[in-house]
Chain A
Amino acid sequence: MNSMRGNVDERLDALLRAYRDACPTPEPSANFMPNLWQRIESRQSFTFSFQRMANAFVTAAVALSIALGVYMSIPHANSASYSQSYLEALADANTLDTPDYVSPVRLELSDSGR
């Protein structure tokens, strides 16, 4: 069994050696360097436009935050005339003629001693 295994091992090694010879180092084509630089430049331009987009997005977000901050900090004209609080508004809405939906709780106390 071991000798068989050894045999397979050797055959695999031989195959891998043959494989190394079967994959000769290819000669680079004449276009190798021009194509490489073309790829580098296209990647650079993509990265550059992505960075510009990201910068524009960040600038817009900052500008929007500042605008919102300013808007929130300015007291609005209609808020002065409308001074009614939430509780007052609730009391107004819940006038006396509004029916109660819950009837009063009636407690019947029974004599527990009996």
Chain B
Amino acid sequence: MLVDFELIKRAQKGDSAAFNEIVLAYRKRILGTISRLIARPEDVEDVAQEVFLRLYFSLDQLRTAEVFEPWLHRLTVNAAYDYLRKQRRRQEFRMSDLSEQQVMLADAAAGGKVEHEEQYRKKIRESVQSLLGAVSEADRILLMLKEVEGLSLKELEKIYKVNENALKVRLFRARQRVLKAYGSAEAREETG
């Protein structure tokens, strides 16, 4: 844990300086997680602020130190989920772009060097975002937390408050859907 529980208690009592310290301690971690969950650099800070805003208004419900981090993770997941749902409504992720991006997928798998590094990263982000369009926002976040953030099933269990088997089933199904989308996109690329 990056902060001690005394600091949290002080923040719970309305100490702004203590809350600032908590934000400063976790800010970078939260920004990183959100960056990978939503893959839109321009909106990462906005979503992170939403997480800390929710933390501020729900901090008084926290009772024990052990649950602080899973709880902060849950707030992050919820904020990212809300953001992604809004994004989906705007239909910004188009599956039709996928075949074009498959060229980059091959590069990514091979670990080949690309001249324009930032452009390459952008393509990778777009490819993954397109693939994740095959699953719901909730499954997408779950998959990201497991596969990209590297959280263990135990950690996910604490965040989602569901048992390990249910998580395994859900993760398996989500991965299968993404694999199917990946396979069909590759097939499209080969035929096209």
Residues in A lying within 8 Å of B, measured CB to CB:
5, 8-16, 18-26, 28-29, 32-33, 35-37, 39-40, 43
- Tell me if B53 and A8 are in contact (CB < 8 A): no
- Tell me if A40 and B56 are in contact (CB < 8 A): yes
- Tell me if A16 and B125 are in contact (CB < 8 A): no
Q: Dominant SS at the A interface?
A: helix
- Tell me if A26 and B45 are in contact (CB < 8 A): yes
Is B167 part of the binding interface, using a Cβ–Cβ cutoff of 8 Å?
no
* Shortest distance between the CB of B57 and any CB in chain A (Å): 7
A37 to B52 CA separation, bound complex (whole angstroms):
10
Which chain A residues lie closer than 8 Å to B120 at the CB level? 22
In the A-B complex, list the 6 residue pairs whose CB atoms are closest, starting with the nearest: A25-B32, A22-B121, A18-B108, A22-B124, A14-B109, A19-B128
Task: Report the number of A-B residue pairs with Cβ-Cβ less than 8 Å.
Answer: 91
* Shortest distance between the CB of A9 and any CB in chain B (Å): 7
Cβ 8 A contact of A16, one of B27, B56, B57, B148: B148
- Tell me if B31 and A23 are in contact (CB < 8 A): no
Is B44 part of the binding interface, using a Cβ–Cβ cutoff of 8 Å?
yes
- Tell me if B125 and A19 are in contact (CB < 8 A): yes
Range, interface on chain B: 35 or more
Stretch at the interface among B33-41, B68-76, B91-99, B154-162: B33-41
**Residue-wise interface mask of B (149-192) relative to A, using a CB-CB cutoff of 8 A (1 in contact, 0 not):** 00000000000000000000000000100110011001000000
Who on chain A is nearest to B56 by CB? A40
- Tell me if B182 and A8 are in contact (CB < 8 A): yes
A21 to B49 CA separation, bound complex (whole angstroms):
23
User: What are 13 A-B interface contacts by the 8 Å CB criterion?
Assistant: A8-B186, A10-B109, A13-B147, A18-B109, A23-B32, A23-B39, A23-B121, A24-B35, A26-B32, A26-B44, A28-B28, A32-B27, A40-B53
Instruction: Indicate the member of A9, A14, A23 with the most B CB atoms within 10 Å.
Output: A23
- Tell me if A18 and B124 are in contact (CB < 8 A): yes
Other contacts beyond A16-B128, A26-B45, A29-B45: 9, CB < 8 A: A10-B109, A13-B147, A19-B148, A20-B148, A26-B31, A26-B32, A35-B49, A36-B52, A43-B57
- Tell me if A25 and B108 are in contact (CB < 8 A): no
- Tell me if B53 and A43 are in contact (CB < 8 A): yes
- Tell me if A11 and B45 are in contact (CB < 8 A): no
Is B23 part of the binding interface, using a Cβ–Cβ cutoff of 8 Å?
yes
- Tell me if B45 and A32 are in contact (CB < 8 A): yes
Interface hits, B43-91 → A, CB 8 Å: 44-45, 48-49, 52-53, 56-57
Which chain B residues lie closer than 8 Å to A25 at the CB level? 28, 31-32, 35
